[in-house]
Amino acid sequence: MNKFYITTAIDYVNDTIHIGHAFQKVAADVLARYYRITLGKDNVFFLTGTDEYGQKAEKAAKNAGISPLEFVRKISVTDKEQQDALNISYDRFLETTDKDHAKVAQEIWNRVKKNDDIYLGGYSGLYCDGCEAYYEESDLHKGKCPFHPNLEIKKITENNYFFKWSKYKDFLIDHIKTHSDFIFPKHRANEMLEFAKNIKDIPISRSNFTWGVAIPASPQGGTNESKQIMYVWFDALTNYLTGVGFLEDKKLFKKFWPADIHILGKDNLRWHALLWPAMLKSAGIELPKTILVNGFLNINGQKISKSLGNVIRPTEWVKKYGADAVRYYLLRYTNITEDSDISEEKLLQAYNADLANGLGNLVARVAKLCETNNANINRANETQTNELLEDVKNQLSQFRFNEALDLIWGGIKGLDQYINRERPWKKGLSEANKILSDVVIGTESLIALRDIAEALKPFLPETSEKIENQFKGPRILSQKPLFPRI
């Protein structure tokens, strides 16, 4: 691998993102930061953003008494604030109202149409406003959307443009079967294989509202096209092309496309695993390599929702515990591909046990010993392979964020045990300094504090930098606790 392009789902602007959405962004950020270490920052591109068109946004703006653009911009600004609070290191925060995005969506439409995969037809079917998606009766649970059970399913009858999705059924099934790494985890791939068997052509335009990307006029003209806008999914999916300069920066696009990882929630999978690849195939564009499907977060056993009053914004926890503590907890005590239960009580326990008493105590202890012994870390420029980082790489290649952190905390525990065994405070100055130098820099058989700091960079970027700065030597002094006990 000589480049790495990762994207997240772009969040819909009906409300500011909560901690469940942030979970996905933090995981993506870890991968982006890791590959910047191994490939160089210029060879990594990280895209996130907001999905700003659609009927929900138009209705919300009307209820607020403002224009749709003003409404979506307000939400987009707050979404950025939430991501920035967690130090999400995106290279571009794309808003689908960006001018270059509309051009890309229209270009893909034209390419698909030129391939004879768009036609005009009538549609009557079931529609969920929450998903902005069409469903079959068999997709529903007791007549309700499985992801929005509190919303009524609507029956919509319209004349729309259709995409020949069914034309690509066999191609999609074959691609999933022959590309074992296309959908992760495997059981999600099996779900898509079952769904693909029943793929039907899908309407990709709407005529009962106006907030969306306009359908490009055909050379032959015609009145119907001017009255319709793109179905929000057909427009939104093309953001992954826009983000790396599909039309605006050919050099950037050539360098980074195809996407190495699309990370998204399980509720968005069928659109990314089946509709998006079919669109790309029709448009003559290479498919992404891997779709990583994250599970949902629940709060104290309950789904995160406004109606339950349990929505938590990332900034709420960051203000109390710091960005790195929140990042750590979300990754160490969840499984990215499965639903996980979180709570502030568990976050506080992890903060005190793992960060304050674990990592924080180790750093403070080593710094104090170095200061007391006036330790001279005389191998400051020595370089050696960081085996811990290599072990972390193996876990991240399988998206085991929690197990990667388990390894790092195993190193923290091992270093603490080494200090207890060697007891440098009982040694003479020369021998004590030798022990402390090994603790800070390491040996072939000892994971060092600097190894731990480097391995922590993708996960806890602020903390890693503080540790590296404190122990770069040659003189090491005690400093404020990394994680004051709460």
DSSP H stretches of helix in 168-231: 169-178, 186-196
Q: Is 370 a catalytic residue?
A: no
CA pair distance 448, 454, nearest whole angstrom: 10
CA pair distance 333, 341, nearest whole angstrom: 9
**How many residues are there in the chain?**
486
Nearest 10 degrees: CA dihedral of 242, 243, 249, 250?
Answer: -70
Among residues 18, 101, 175, 262, the one annotated as catalytic is: 18
Q: What is the 3-state secondary structure (H, E, C) of 262-311?
A: EEEEHHHHHHHHHHHHHHHHHHCCCCCCEEEEECCEEECCEECCCCCCCC
CA pair distance 396, 297, nearest whole angstrom: 20
CA pair distance 265, 270, nearest whole angstrom: 10
Q: Is 303 a catalytic residue?
A: yes
CA pair distance 311, 418, nearest whole angstrom: 43
CA pair distance 147, 12, nearest whole angstrom: 14
Q: Is 18 a catalytic residue?
A: yes
Residues contacting 439, CB < 8 A, separation 6+: 366, 415, 418, 419, 446, 448, 449
Q: For 386, what's the count of Cα atoms within 13 Å in the CB-facing half-sphere?
A: 21
CA pair distance 406, 409, nearest whole angstrom: 5
The residue type of 458 is P
Among residues 3, 74, 103, 303, the one annotated as catalytic is: 303
Neighbours of 39 (CB within 10 A): 14
Among residues 25, 56, 145, 457, the one annotated as catalytic is: 145
Among residues 80, 101, 113, 131, the one annotated as catalytic is: 131
DSSP H stretches of helix in 423-460: 429-441, 449-456
Q: Is 272 a catalytic residue?
A: no
Among residues 21, 25, 175, 281, the one annotated as catalytic is: 21
Q: Is 101 a catalytic residue?
A: no
Residue with tokens 């979300």: 330
The residue type of 29 is D
DSSP H stretches of helix in 40-116: 55-64, 68-85, 99-114
Among residues 148, 164, 368, 472, the one annotated as catalytic is: 148
Q: Is 131 a catalytic residue?
A: yes
Per DSSP bridges, beta strands 44-51 and 11-12 are: parallel
The token duo for 146 is: 């499985």
Residues contacting 328, CB < 8 A, separation 6+: 350, 354, 355, 405, 459, 460
Among residues 128, 272, 281, 457, the one annotated as catalytic is: 128
Among residues 41, 177, 306, 346, the one annotated as catalytic is: 306
Residue with tokens 């606790």: 481
| Catalytic residue ranges | 18, 21, 128, 131, 145, 148, 303, 306
